[in-house]
Chain A
Amino acid sequence: MSAPQDIIHQLQREILQLQGSRPPAPGQAALELGPIKEAFPNKTFPTGAIHEFICPRPADEAATAGFTAGLVSGLMQSGGVCVWVSAGRKVYPPGLKIFGVPPDRVIFMDMHTEKEVLWVMEEALKCEGLAAVIGGLRELGMTVSRRYQLAVEQSRVTGLIIRQQPRQLYPNATVARWHVTHLPGAAVPGMTGSSLTGSANPPLPGVGFPRWNVQLSRIRNGHPGSWEVGWQAGRFHFEAPKINLQEKVLRKKTG
């Protein structure tokens, strides 16, 4: 009974490998991504691939930077180095530490124009010794993204591209497209009693931990979805999944 099922799974895995998604190397720690993992092929975060993060508003860039830093910290666990390429950089290195990225292991390459970023980004993606490359770009077309994808298939570097206020979202060769936006901080319940009783214990003042709404709108061979993700005590914190109608439709479409 289970034999044909096994064969199909086996074949699916082989197809995935042919399409360029490989399971992580034995020594490499898998990212702890909780429920988001279900969305990925092989249930592992696709490393050695290009991910793009769409930031329509300037404020989203900060949220995206935090979320990507969280992802990269997982990739840098074994002493790796990350390269951050951007034009007009605003990233403040000490602010990365809270997301588990040692700022002294990030090499910032500050360019003046987007054209320079494109070249440096490709050179960095070809460099095998890196754990990840984060780039800030406005537009990312098919040609460029395909070049990047070919480069990382060779070097196994993970490329994360933060799209700052893109004008058009053309289809491109990236593996995943993410939207990260801020969520209002969750009220941290008071110290005494149960939080369920509510009014008796007013929540602690303050902004609380960072929280984001993470939407995976496109993932090759996976299932798009949307999650509420927080960052607590040096790791991602996941809240109950919330799937609305739109994503159900999306899921049906992509299979």
Chain B
Amino acid sequence: MSNRFLSLWFRHLTTDYISIRRPALLHQPFVLALPDHGRMVITAANPLAMKEGIQAGMAVADARVLVPTLEVLDDDEGLTSKLLRQLAIWCIRYTPIVSIDAPDGLLLDISGCPHLWGGEKIYLHQIVHTLRSKGYDVRGAIADTLGAAWAIARYGRVTPVIGPGEHVNALFDLPPAALRIDPLIAGRLQKLGLDRIHRIAGMARQSLRTRFGNELLVRLDQAFGRTDEPMTSVAPVEVYIERLPCLEPICTAGGIEIALTRLLDMLCGRLQQDGKGLRTAVFKGYRVDGQVIQAAIGTHRATYNAAHLFKLFEEKISALEPGLGIEVFTLEAPKVEDTGPSQKTIWESAGGLLDKGLSELIDRVSNKMGPDRVHRYMPSEHYWPERAITETSSLDEIALDRWSVTRPRPVYLLARPEPIEVTAPIPDYPPMLFRHRGGLHKIIRADGPERIGQEWWIATGQHRDYYMVEDENGIRYWIFRSGHYKGTGPHQWFLHGYFA
């Protein structure tokens, strides 16, 4: 089968994009500009501005003379490549091989694809129409070679779809600039009167090479299909999905388990080969009655351990309703991550945080019980007790700050300080007794106060004066007074924790 290529040309890529974002600009001439040697130079102009004679490369000041109401926006240098990349990924729905043709186009290898849409004409129309309805001014062409498709998309006048073997004839009437050559060379050809490709095509290769360099010949050969042209596809993310059709509809839990085991083995084998592990997986069953049932799991660390993943799914199989039967099973890993090769240890030791058993335990717990059940804490540089710890979701994170032991901290901290009634002698002395939930506690010994100020850049409020006190039973409390000693009126005292 012969190769077929499609070239897309976005005539006003960046300005179209901005018009889509800001529809108010659709009916107004505007340009994008970047500073260059101390002046603003236009990098792109929208069709309305171009109609007024404004072109890329002009200084903004000159353009303003032509159109006093010209809107000037700052250009973003990375925008073009970002947009082309996004469009290329979008185009993967039409063909798996799409490459970016900087600065304003895309090249698609469509060999064997158009018949799925009902022919090349409909195929091209569909792509171009969809892009135009989004707001992009786009032209497209299909031909046997990349070079021909590129040329027809930009310079073709007759038809955008060039049938197999007809590209040579179609190219003959185009100007030499359609060969993707340096504008300088194109200008020289034009000057010499070689204004159509068919005039060059018949000339001796040797004389063309000496006069215009090798590039022209290479481009000519590529356009006519005499040499192959490499194409780099925008490496699409490899989809990790496995599919298992069944001869008979499955309607038992045992059957589902077998299907799951097989799919897991297939998927995990592939993941292991690619050095990857999955973080989330979705198991789907397509039922006879057209319904889709599914179960999803997540793991704490990338893994390709089929036995472990099966355990995670096992809990959820009972919730799947097979109905009249399931015809097709799929298992997809939407989120995969790289994993290092696991190393076998000679001696099994208490593994620490990187132990595989621990991360599998966490997976099982969070899959069964739901999220936000497993917590690990890191020290945080705050004295305010509630902020002295931050939660981390990773097991790999190592505590960079050291846990401080210079200040006494209780082993039990109440989630919310509980108000207590206190009898305190003089300012800044610990209380003599306090009443908490009806119980009276006589204070025998005390340490403190430790004043912890509210961090004004985070929150406002009173500081706290903490005391560590011990009652007659030896029970140790962490209590604090909120704010300064006022001399008059009741003070706010709270119980905040218990010491061991």
CB within 8 Å of B: which residues of A? 27, 59, 61-63, 65-67, 69, 78-81, 83, 90-99, 102-111, 116, 119-120, 123-124, 127-131, 181-185, 205-208, 210-212, 231
Contacts and interface: CB of A to CB of B under 8 A. Distances in A.
B476 A80 contact: no
Given A91-B413, A106-B377, A183-B474, 6 more contacts: A92-B385, A94-B403, A95-B409, A97-B404, A107-B358, A205-B445
B377 A129 contact: no
Interface string B372-400: 01111111000001001100000001110
B352 A107 contact: no
B405 interface: yes
Given A96-B411, A210-B500, A62 B388 contact: no
Nearest to B361: A127
Nearest to B414: A90
B444 interface: yes
Interface of B: 348-353, 355-358, 360-362, 364-365, 368-369, 373-379, 385, 388-389, 397-399, 403-405, 408-415, 444-447, 468-470, 472-476, 497-500
Given A92-B497, A94-B404, A81 B352 contact: yes
Contact of A79 (B352, B373, B404, B410): B352
Contact of A81 (B358, B368, B377): B358
Contacts of A211: 474
The 9 closest A-B pairs by CB, nearest first: A66-B500, A129-B355, A92-B413, A62-B498, A182-B474, A129-B351, A95-B411, A129-B357, A184-B474
Contacts of A78: 349-350
B410 A92 contact: yes
A207 B412 contact: no
Given A62-B498, A92-B410, A208-B445, A185 B350 contact: no
A94, A98, A212: most-surrounded residue (chain B CB, <10 A): A94
B358 A127 contact: yes
Contacts, number: 180
A27 to B, nearest CB: 8
Nearest to B411: A95
A205 B429 CA distance: 13
B365, B389, B405, B473: most-surrounded residue (chain A CB, <10 A): B365
Interface of A is mostly: mixed
B473 A103 contact: no
B359 to A, nearest CB: 9
A182 B475 CA distance: 6
A244 to B, nearest CB: 18
B437 to A, nearest CB: 10
Contact of B411 (A79, A80, A92, A120): A92
Nearest to A130: B358
12 contacts: A59-B498, A65-B412, A90-B412, A94-B409, A95-B412, A97-B404, A103-B377, A106-B377, A110-B373, A123-B361, A210-B500, A211-B474
B468, B469, B498, B500: most-surrounded residue (chain A CB, <10 A): B500
A62 B358 contact: no
B402 to A, nearest CB: 9
Given A61-B412, A78-B350, A128 B373 contact: no
Nearest to B445: A207
Nearest to A98: B405
B409 A63 contact: no
A98 B271 CA distance: 44
A206 B446 CA distance: 5
Contacts of A120: 365, 369
A81 B410 CA distance: 21
B411 A66 contact: yes
Contacts of A83: 361
